Amino acid sequence: MEDVKLTKLASCAGCGAKVGAGMLSRLLKGLPVRKDERLLVGYDKSDDAAVYQIDENTAMICTLDFFPPIADDPELFGQIAAANALSDVYAMGGEPKVALNIMTVTKEMSRETIHGILRGGYEKVFEAGAVIAGGHTIEDTEPKYGLSVTGFCHPSRILTNSAAKPGDILILTKPLGIGILTTAAKADLIGQDVKDRIFAQMTTLNKRARDIMTLYPVHSCTDVTGFSLLGHSYEMAGGSGAAIHILTDQIRYHEEALEMASMGMVPAGAYRNRDYVEGHLTKKKEIPLALEDILFDPQTSGGLLIAVPEKEGEALYRQLSDDMPGVSLAGYVSEGEGLILE
């Protein structure tokens, strides 16, 4: 059987397929929440993963993430999906240890394609120092792949998205624009050099960023994925009871994304993110619509957004910048509430 392109088998790609944050909040509203003193972080916290304390020295971090193809190459798709799923554990400050495959396959997919996707996932999990111990596969009308991941951390070192403090600075470890550029890629509007660059970014684990940030007194962290920089920043602001200021002139993004956004190559997820956040957004200056689209753009396997005291944050920013490309001094935290664009 001759395979068709993976991205042609799906109506949307990567984290752009996520249910919008506003819709998700409405869907979950009113569901019973069982109380357990060992459940340190549950789904009611809008955080990156659940955290359950095993004993005084060990907390278990549990997450899962899967999505439709964002690349036609099966192995590359598997790598990106795995890196994205592992990222939730890194955002909580943890170390991934065990993963399970989550997969749907279609009748158009050959054995070689399915093997390629799984092989890509195995490669990234191995790179993370974890193991894949099994999984579950079903037939569907669209292919999807991802992981359920379990990691561990000391309970006192767990990082959440709701502990940013006034006086913190915000550091973003990867440039934005992935959703816009992958949308443009499906329309064959970007060159192979740009595709190679964004695929390399999406397959890069957040492990090194986690290793560096845990050397500093970080207050809060989240990974920037489907809800966009502004969506995840809004959740951090609300959970922390503080105001998040985004420095739009400082945000790093792929230059080609600005052009593609100006041409209308904006994924549907960006509009869902805008609907969720825009009513809580204050703009201190005029911002070009294409740049706003980048700030609302759903990211796949995006970077970590780190809130850290300014004094130590400057050193953390320098060390991250020396170690990896595209790091932004994204903003700062103050007293107040909501999200402010400057």
For the question of residue 15 being annotated catalytic, the response is yes
Task: Return the amino acid letter for 49.
Answer: A
Q: Would you state the structure tokens that stand for residue 261, as one six-digit string?
A: 């956004």
The set of residues, in sequence order, having a beta carbon less than 8 Å from that of 231 and lying 6+ positions away, is 21, 273, 276, 277, 296
* Strands ordered across the beta sheet of 58-67: 39-41, 50-55, 58-67, 144-153, 95-105, 131-139
Structure tokens, 282: 């204050």
- Of these residues, 12, 15, 153, 221, which one is catalytic? 15
Distance between terminal CA atoms of the chain? 54
Cα–Cα separations (whole angstroms), residue 221 to 8, 39, 152, 246: 35, 19, 16, 15
CA angle 177, 92, 268 (to 5 degrees): 30
- Which residue numbers are catalytic? 15
